Structure 1
Amino acid sequence: MRSLRHSILPLAAATVLALIGTGTAAEAAPAPAAAKTRATAGALTASGSEAESVGRSARLSNGAPVDSAKNIAALERFWTPERMAKAVSLDKVPAAPGPDAAKSAGPTGKPGSVPSAPPRSAVKAPRINESAAVGKVFFTNPSNGGTYACSASALNSSSKQMVITAGHCVHGGKGGTWMTNWVYVPRYRSGARPFGTFAAKQMRTFTAWINDSDLRRDVAMVTTWPLNGNKIVNVTGGHGLSWNFSRQQAVTIFGYPGNLDGGEVQWVCTGTTRAVSDGRIELQCNFGGGSSGGPWLREFNDSNGLGSVNGVMSTVNSDGWNRSSYFDDGVKGMFDAQGGVT
C-alpha cells in the first residue's frame, strides 16, 4: 500500500533542547539541511559505575507487581481505547546536569552486533516501511497519576521477550520514580492493536539516568510477558543490537511523534547521524513528544521491517534536531543483564 508522506513542519527560531515528551533545557545545535522524513502507517544490578543498570519488577499503579494472570488482565482492562487516545507526553522534568565529555569521547570497545530475528509466522506489512517490530508504549506516571505515551521496539535476545525504549519512558529520572501500568502495543495505529497488548514484567535502565537524568544514558530495556503463550519477538520479529560503531551512521528512525498525525501512526526519518560534543548522536527529524524510545536502526531491511538498534529517541530541540544516547559497552552490558530474563 502507499505510504503517507509529509514535509517537515516549520521550526521555531529559538533553540531549546527537550526530552521528547518531557521538556528540559540544554545546549543549542546548528541547523544544516533537514533529514528526509516520511510517515508510515527489588533491584537487579549490572556491573559498572556510569554504565551500571538497575532492574525492577513492573507494577500496577496500586503497587501490586505484574506477576499473575489476574494482574495482567487488570492491566489490559485499564488500557481502554479511550485511555490510550488520551495518553500524552510527559512534561517539565528537571534539567539534566552537564555531562563530562571526557568520559564519552569514543567507543569503549570493539564494534559488535546481535542479529535481528524474523517472526515465526510471516507478517504482512500494511504500509511501506511500517515495522511490526516497532510499537507504542503506554504507562502511568506515579508522580501525578497521569497517563502517557512513548515509542519502543522489539529487541532480539535469548528470552524473545524484550523491548528497548528510552530511560525516561520507564523512570522519571532525578527526583522521579518508576512508571507503572506499563504496556507495549506493537504496530499500534489509530487505536488498532493488530498483535495485542504486551504487559511489562521487568524494567531496566541506567543508574546514571535514575540518579542524575544523564542524557548519555537515556536508555531502557523491558522484559514483557508472553501474550496467549506467544513471546513478542516470535510474534512480530525483533531488531538486532549494535554497539561501539561510528557516530556517523546511516539510520532509519521509527516513532510515534505527537506533532505528526497526533502520534497515532508510525513515522519514519532517514539520514546520516553526526556526533554531538557530549558524545551522543543526532539527526534532524523534528520528531516531537511520543517518539521517545523509538529505535535508530542501522542496516534497516525494508522488506521485513527489521534492522539493528544503534540508538533510541531521547531529545529534540526547537530546530528539530533529535538526539540519542551513544550505544557503547554499557548498553551491551544492559542487554546482557536483561536479555535472558523470562
Structure 2
Amino acid sequence: MISALSVVAAALVAATPVTTPAGASQDEIRAYWTPEAMAEAVAASDDPHPDGVSWTYGTESVRNVGRLFMEIPGGKKATCTAAVVEAANRSVIATAGHCVHLQAVGGWMKKLLFAPAYDKGTRPYGTYVAKSVAIAPAWSEREDHKADFAFVTLGPDEQGRSVQNVTGGRPASFAPVPGEKTALGYPFVKPYDGETLQYCSGPTTPVNDNRLVGGEQLTPCRMTNGASGGPWYARTADGKDVQVGVTSARPKEPGLENVAWGAMFEGTARELHQHAEQLK
C-alpha cells in the first residue's frame, strides 16, 4: 500500500451516468487557469486545526494524484483533489461527487482542470481539461454521501497525450479491501495552502452514521477542505495497490473531529467508471 510503511510507485438503485460538457474549449479553459487564477482557488469553509502530514516519500509513486480546479456557479474558483485510475481510454480520474456537482452552490461545476503532481505552483506533467463527468443520481438528486464519487473523462494535455500515458494510474477496486488505508489530498484551508500533497495512513473502521452508510472512517486524519476527492489506497492480499474510494467529508461534531470519511467504491462506482472509460 502507498504509505509511510511501503512506498510503491441501504442498497443503491443502479445508476444512469450523467454527462455534462465542459462549457468552453480546452484552450479557453487552460488559458483561464493561469497561476494567478489557481492561487485564487479557495475551499468552501475554514478550519484552523492542523491535519495530515506532508508526503515526503518522493513524487514518482504518487504522480497520478493531483489538484482539480473548478469554477463554481457564480464565478468563484475552488479546488479539490483527484487521481488517475486505470481505464480503457487512459483518460479517467476519480474524485468526489461534490467536487463536480453541489446543490448548495447551484449544481454543476465549470472549467474543470486537472494538474497531476501539482506542487507549489508547478505542473510537471501538464494539465488536462475535463470533457465529461459521470456521477450517480443518488448524488446529483439526493446528495447521498454513499455515492459521493465521480469519474471524470479528460481531454489530452498540451502535447496531445492521454493522462494515464503520462502519469500512470492505479486500478480501482469495486469490492471491499480490508486493512490499512492511505488517503492523499491537497488540503487548502489553514494551516494548509493547497500547494503540497498531504496524507493520512492507518487502519479504518466502518462509518457508524446514517450520513455515510457503507463508508469507512480513517483515524487520525484531519485534512481540511481541498482534500475532498482525494484517493484512498489499499493493498490487496496479492500485493496489488488499488484505489478503493475517495475522501468525502470530515465531520466536525464532538468526538468526530479527528476522523476523515471515505466514500467506498462499489457497484454504482463500477458502472460510472465503465461509462467514463468508454468515452473518447
TM-score higher than 0.5: yes
Contact 1:165 1:221 in 2 (8 A): yes
Distance (Å, rounded) in 1 between the aligned partners of 2:104 and 2:175? 27
The change in CA–CA distance for 1:204 and 1:173 in structure 2 (over 3 A counts) is farther
**What whole-Å deviation, never above 9, does each CA across 1:11-31 have from its counterpart, x for those lacking one?**
xxxxxxxxxxxxxxxxxxxxx
Query: Corresponding residue for 2:8?
Result: none
Deviation at 1:336, TM superposition (A): 1.4
The change in CA–CA distance for 1:53 and 1:89 in structure 2 (over 3 A counts) is farther
Residue 62 of structure 2 corresponds to residue 128 of structure 1: no
Query: Corresponding residue for 1:312?
Result: 246
Deviation at 1:166, TM superposition (A): 0.1
SS state of the match for residue 308, structure 1?
strand
Alignment root-mean-square deviation, CA = 2.4
Query: Corresponding residue for 1:116?
Result: none
Match of 2:264 among 320, 326, 331: 326
Deviation at 1:187, TM superposition (A): 0.5
Q: How is 1:1-342 mapped onto 2 (pairs within 5 angstroms)?
A: 50-59=13-22, 65-66=23-24, 71-91=25-45, 128-130=57-59, 131-142=62-73, 144-173=74-103, 176-227=106-157, 228-246=159-177, 248-258=178-188, 259-277=190-208, 278-284=213-219, 285-299=221-235, 307-318=241-252, 319-342=257-280
Paired residue type of 1:54: P
TM-score between the two structures when normalised by the length of structure 2:
0.82
Distance (Å, rounded) in 2 between the aligned partners of 1:199 and 1:208? 25
Deviation at 1:226, TM superposition (A): 1.1
SS state of the match for residue 31, structure 2?
helix
SS state of the match for residue 317, structure 1?
coil
Larger Rg: 1
Distance (Å, rounded) in 2 between the aligned partners of 1:206 and 1:339? 15
**What whole-Å deviation, never above 9, does each CA across 1:267-306 have from its counterpart, x for those lacking one?**
1211111111322111021011000000000129xxxxx9
**What whole-Å deviation, never above 9, does each CA across 1:222-259 have from its counterpart, x for those lacking one?**
0000112210001000111112215x431111100124
Percent of aligned positions that are identical: 29
**What whole-Å deviation, never above 9, does each CA across 1:107-159 have from its counterpart, x for those lacking one?**
xxxxxxxxxxxxxxxxxxx95154101000000011x2100000000011100
Distance (Å, rounded) in 1 between the aligned partners of 2:200 and 2:28? 36
Distance (Å, rounded) in 1 between the aligned partners of 2:124 and 2:4? 28
Query: Corresponding residue for 2:50?
Result: none
Deviation at 1:57, TM superposition (A): 3.1
Paired residue type of 1:312: V
Deviation at 1:54, TM superposition (A): 2.5
Distance (Å, rounded) in 2 between the aligned partners of 1:152 and 1:219? 10
Q: Matched residue pairs, number?
A: 249
Contact 2:72 2:105 in 1 (8 A): no
Q: Which runs of 5+ in 2 are unaligned?
A: 6-10, 47-54
TM-score between the two structures when normalised by the length of structure 1:
0.68
Distance (Å, rounded) in 2 between the aligned partners of 1:323 and 1:190? 26
